[in-house]
Amino acid sequence: MFDLIRVSLFGASNTGGVPFDPAKDISSLAGKIILVTGGAGGIGREAVLEFLRHKPTRLYILDLPQPDDGEAMLAGIREAVPDAPVRFIPVNLASFESIAKGAAQFNEAEDRLDICLCNAGVMPVKPTTTPEGFETTFGINYLGHALLVRLLEKKLLQAAALPDADVRLVFVCSEGHVMVPKGGIAFDELKTSCAKLQYFYRYGQSKLAINLFMRELSSKHPQIRVVAVHPGRISTGIATELLKYSAIVRVTQPLTKYMTVPPALGARNSLWACTSPATKSGKYYEPVGVPDHESKLSRDPELCRKLREWTDEALKDYASA
C-alpha cells in the first residue's frame, strides 16, 4: 500500500539522471543490427528514429500487424530519417504462434543481433486472457518478451562472439513494478484473467517479472549487457485504455500534462542503456543512468527461480530454456 501511494503521488522523476543528449552522445551505430518491439508508436518510435539517425546497418520494428503491412508507418519514419534502413515484422506479443513466426523471419534474415530493445507494453484495465489463456498484461509485457528473447538468444550470442562486440538487451520496465500482489507474482492466477487483481497490480507483476528475467539473463550471459529501465511518465497511447475505463484517470486527466513529458524524452533512458559505455549489466535504471531503485522483490533469488520454472513450463512447446 505504501508503494502504491508513493508511486501514484510522487513517482519517479521525469528529469534528472546523468547528462545525456542522444543526438551528440550516441556514437555511430554502423555495422549494428537493431530490433525494437513496439517500435511503431509511443516511446519505441522515438527510440527507433534516434537509432536510425546514427546509421545502423538495419533496424527491425516488431509491432502489431498493420493493415498495409506497415507501409504507412515505415513511410512516416523514412520521411523523418531519409533512406533509413528500417524493416517491419508484424508480431502480436500476446500470441506464441505470432512470436515464433516473427522470430523465424528475423532469424532467417540476420546472423547477428547487436541491440534488442524490448519496449512494447500494455496496461489493460479490463481483465482478459491471451490466445494461450494467460492473463493479457503478463502475457504481452513479460511472457511474450520471454519467448521472443529465447528465440533470438542465439543471434545475440553470435553478435557477442564477434571482435569488438558490444551487445545490449534492454527491457523497458516501469516504476510500477513495485505495485504487486502479495508475494510479488500471483503464479496460481496467471492462467486466468486475474480478475481479482486491480489492473495496476496486473501491470506491476508483469514488470516485476521483467526485472527478475533481466537479472537472470545478465548472470547467464556475462558477454551481453542486459538491463531494465523506467522511461519516466510519458504522454503516450498506453493511457488510452485507462481513459476509457478508469473514472479516476478521466477526472485527473487535466493534470496529466503537468505530470508527463513527450515520448522523445521518454526514449532517453532506453537509448542511454542501449548505447552508453557506462551501462552496467544486471541493473535497473530510473531515471536516466541512475541504478538500484528497484524493489527488494526484484532481487529475490527464490522468486527468480520460481519465475524461471513457471516460464519453462509455460513455454515448453515453443522454446526450451
Residue 38 vs 287, nearer CB to ligand NAP? 38
Residue 141 vs 160, nearer CB to ligand NAP? 141
Residue 92 vs 275, nearer CB to ligand NAP? 92
Tell me which residue has cell 490466445. 131
Separation CA 319–CA 97 (nearest Å): 11
- Measured from the CB of residue 130, what is the shortest distance to ligand NAP in angstroms? 9
- Measured from the CB of residue 164, what is the shortest distance to ligand NAP in angstroms? 30
Pairing of strands 167-172, 224-229: parallel
> Cβ neighbours of residue 112 under 8 Å, at least 6 residues apart?
33, 155, 158, 159, 162
- Measured from the CB of residue 255, what is the shortest distance to ligand NAP in angstroms? 14
Contact call for residues 29 and 1 (beta carbons, < 8 A)? no
Contact call for residues 177 and 300 (beta carbons, < 8 A)? no
- Measured from the CB of residue 112, what is the shortest distance to ligand NAP in angstroms? 23
Residue 202 vs 233, nearer CB to ligand NAP? 233
Calculate helix-pair angle for 71-80, 42-53, nearest 10 degrees. 50
- Measured from the CB of residue 174, what is the shortest distance to ligand NAP in angstroms? 4
Residue 147 vs 224, nearer CB to ligand NAP? 147
Residue 160 vs 288, nearer CB to ligand NAP? 288
> Cβ neighbours of residue 174 under 8 Å, at least 6 residues apart?
121, 203, 204, 207, 230, 231
Closest to 152 measured CA to CA, from 284, 40, 35:
35
Three-class secondary structure of residue 76 per DSSP: helix
- Measured from the CB of residue 199, what is the shortest distance to ligand NAP in angstroms? 12
Binding positions for ligand NAP, rule: CB under 6 A: 38, 40-44, 63-64, 91-94, 119-122, 140, 172, 174, 230-231, 233-234, 236-238
The neighbour count for residue 103, using CB atoms within 10 Å, is: 23
> Cβ neighbours of residue 239 under 8 Å, at least 6 residues apart?
249, 256
Residue 116: what are its φ and ψ, rounded to 5°?
-120, 115
Separation CA 286–CA 201 (nearest Å): 20
Three cell numbers at 53? 539517425
- Measured from the CB of residue 50, what is the shortest distance to ligand NAP in angstroms? 14
- Measured from the CB of residue 237, what is the shortest distance to ligand NAP in angstroms? 3
Residue 160 vs 273, nearer CB to ligand NAP? 273
Residue 160 vs 234, nearer CB to ligand NAP? 234
